[in-house]
Structure 1
Amino acid sequence: MARFKITAPDGRFEGIVGGARFIEGATTVPEGHPALGYCQRRGYTVEPAGGQASASSAPVRPADADRKAAWVAYVAATSDLSEAEANDMTKSELIELADSEQ
């Protein structure tokens, strides 16, 4: 499976965005990770890691049993809601919203 390097606009950023942990402004995630779409829409640099390319970097819908953080990242990446707005919703509301937008 392809992996992607995401670089934050602030090269010193340390924290979690879209369920991905950034250290010194960068992280690497697998293809389909919810952070990919979210970060692409928010101006982060997203590029194949290790020279691997992928035809698709669309976010993959989390399983219903996945943690709320995965759902927040997915909804923020696939809707017009910000991560903060999605975080204010319950996990059940996030799942319902994702199902209604399919």
Structure 2
Amino acid sequence: MKLFVTLAFAAATLSGTAASAAAGDVYVAVPAAPTTKTGFITRSTAWRLQNDAFVAGQAPERPAVLCELVVRQIGSLSSFSVGGKAYDAEQLAKCNAKAKKA
């Protein structure tokens, strides 16, 4: 199992795509603009930077709420995925509307 996780992480790293997260990651949030953060916490969910995306495992919040919590931390997103399924344009726009205005 450890070898599988190591290989999955290596494949995700080599692919260079933000949507390719390591095995076990449920949420993937890609910032619309570069960020200096390497990690943050939304309520009880820890997010870590991997390639150009923030990834997290299970969270107690509904996905829509979680997305809004993320944009309050890092600003607008270019994509947000839950279990490998990306938000559509309408869902993403609604989420991004909650981002802090600079």
Between structures 1 and 2, the one with greater strand share:
2
TM-score calculated relative to the size of structure 1: 0.30
TM-score calculated relative to the size of structure 2: 0.30
